[in-house]
Amino acid sequence: MKNTVIVTGATGFLGKRTALYLKSLGYEVYALGRKTQLSTFFERNGIRFISGDLSCSDVLDRLPIAAYDFVHCAGFSSPWGKKKEFHDSNIVATQNCINFALSRNVRRFIHISSPSIYFDFKNREQLTESSYIPKNQVNFYSNSKLISEKKVLYSFKTQGLPSIVLRPKAIVGAGDAAIMPRILRSLKKGKLLLINQGRAMVDVTHVDNVVLAIQLALEAPKRLEGESFNITNGVSHSITSLLSKVLKALNVGYQFRHIPYPIAYMKASVDESLARLTGIEPVLTRYSLGIVSYSQTFNIQKAKKQLGYAPRASVEDAISEYVNSSQS
């Protein structure tokens, strides 16, 4: 039997996949999440489930005394939302997890950060872990993830938190509730737009490759604590080619609509203004527009050399997996 491991955000996309995988490896797993309806599912799979909101520290107090590893997948991920939602779900929750880990002498703390912290409305390719990170972040989400990551790394430097930070880019696969659903909604509404002919280059990551990176980080030598790692599939795609793969998996034809960036930016600004009045997430935000308009690719050599990371599942696998699960 391997160590006992806590997986936060276990009722979410990445957390659920991580909890199941670590259980299959022989870990005793505690799954923490908000969706109480999944408690029976976890119990059937031999995983102990604790429900609650991590912005309240007493959730973690319900865990028994044990020698733990800790995988912090929980967080509020969205291109739009209220500042307080991001602050409580990402910053406060992370600090509570750090406090717990330090008080219980957790053996290894894996923090799931976000490569959105690099974004600054410019083409940036082959980004490394030491690439420039803008001080002024593009939205509440990326700002909250940067602050959370800094808290983890500061705790390593000042209090010896045995932490490793992973920055997985655009996670896809069955269970994805962010990327593929938005693409399909836009497709159904006939609003799948291409900016700059869809030439922007992006990286996407199969969820199973992120889970593999988590396993490797849990098992990594102590000298890697305090390090951050970019995690992707290691293959960049143009927006056009990526969307074409989705359409092929769906077996549908579609005529892309092209729109100049200035017009799309104006529309995004209007949508955001309306969203502030209505409270409804805008169809298009300036950040989501920027993601498909500017190239952002990543160098994963550090993860390969130091963690031994080697992506196993392709983007095509992830797309097919999602499409098949959504149609079943």
DSSP string, 13-46: HHHHHHHHHHHHTT-EEEEEES-GGGHHHHHHTT
11: in domain: yes
> What is the rounded CA–CA span in Å between residue 127 and residue 262?
26
143: in domain: yes
* CA-wise closest residue to 70 among 9, 152, 8, 146: 8
The predicted-structure confidence for 215-258, as pLDDT tens digits, reads as follows 999 999 999 999 999 999 999 999 999 999 988 888 877 777 88
Do 231 and 167 touch, CB atoms closer than 8 A?
Answer: yes
Confidence label for 206 from pLDDT (cuts 50, 70 and 90): very high
264: in domain: no
pLDDT at 165 over 80: yes
Bridge partner residues of 282 (DSSP): none
Do 298 and 126 touch, CB atoms closer than 8 A?
Answer: yes
Can you tell me whether residue 249 is helix, strand or coil?
helix
- In this prediction, residues 35-42 reach a mean pLDDT of 91
Do 282 and 270 touch, CB atoms closer than 8 A?
Answer: no
Separation in Å, CA 254 to CA 16, 43, 187, 241, 244: 33, 43, 8, 13, 9
What are the DSSP E strand ranges found in 281-321? 296-298
182: in domain: no
Average pLDDT, the chain: 92
Range of the domain at 224: 4-172+205-234+297-313
Query: Residue 103's CB: how many other CB atoms inside 10 A?
Result: 10
245: in domain: no
286-293 and 261-278 helices cross at what angle (nearest 10)? Answer: 150
Can you tell me whether residue 103 is helix, strand or coil?
helix
323: in domain: no
Q: What percent of the chain has pLDDT over 70?
A: 99
Q: What secondary structure letter does DSSP report for 88?
A: I
Helix H segments across 198-254? 207-219, 239-250
19: in domain: yes
Among 19-28, 157-166, 241-250, the range scoring the smallest mean pLDDT is 241-250
> Please, which residues have CB within 8 angstroms of residue 278's CB and are 6 or more apart in sequence?
none
Whichever domain contains 222, its CATH number is: 3.40.50.720
* CA-wise closest residue to 288 among 183, 146, 197, 207: 183
pLDDT at 171 over 80: yes
Residue type, 221: P
Domain count for the chain: 1
186: in domain: no
